[in-house]
């Protein structure tokens, strides 16, 4: 397993970090990490959400849906 970024090593491959790409060693490892985020590989475990449940947002009523606005 790769060492943590606090140890000065890339969290993807374990090589020493490069300041320009910190906490990674290269642009390649930074892109690998970004791809993992975009695919949803990194997630905080929690209870499953039913598809019919609306997500909770900070927007007030009517602010989340602007389809009724006149242009």
- Supply the pLDDT for residue 61: 56
Query: 9-37 pLDDT, tens per residue?
Result: 999 999 999 999 999 999 999 999 999 99
**Alpha-carbon distance 46 to 26, whole Å?**
32
What is the token pair recorded at 67? 């389809």
Is 36 strand, coil or helix? helix
For 30, 50, 56, 58, the CA distances from 26, given in Å and listed in that order, are 6, 40, 37, 37
pTM over the 0.75 mark:
no
**Alpha-carbon distance 43 to 26, whole Å?**
24
Mean pLDDT of the chain: 79
- Supply the pLDDT for residue 69: 55
Whether the pLDDT of residue 5 is over 50: the answer is no
């Amino acid at each position: 397993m790769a060492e943590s970024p606090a140890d000065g090593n890339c969290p993807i491959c374990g090589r020493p970090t490069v300041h320009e790409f910190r906490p990674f060693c290269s642009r390649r490892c930074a892109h690998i990490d970004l791809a993992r985020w975009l695919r949803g590989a990194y997630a905080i475990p929690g209870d499953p959400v039913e598809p019919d449940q609306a997500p909770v947002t900070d927007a007030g009523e009517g602010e989340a849906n602007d389809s009724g606005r006149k242009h």
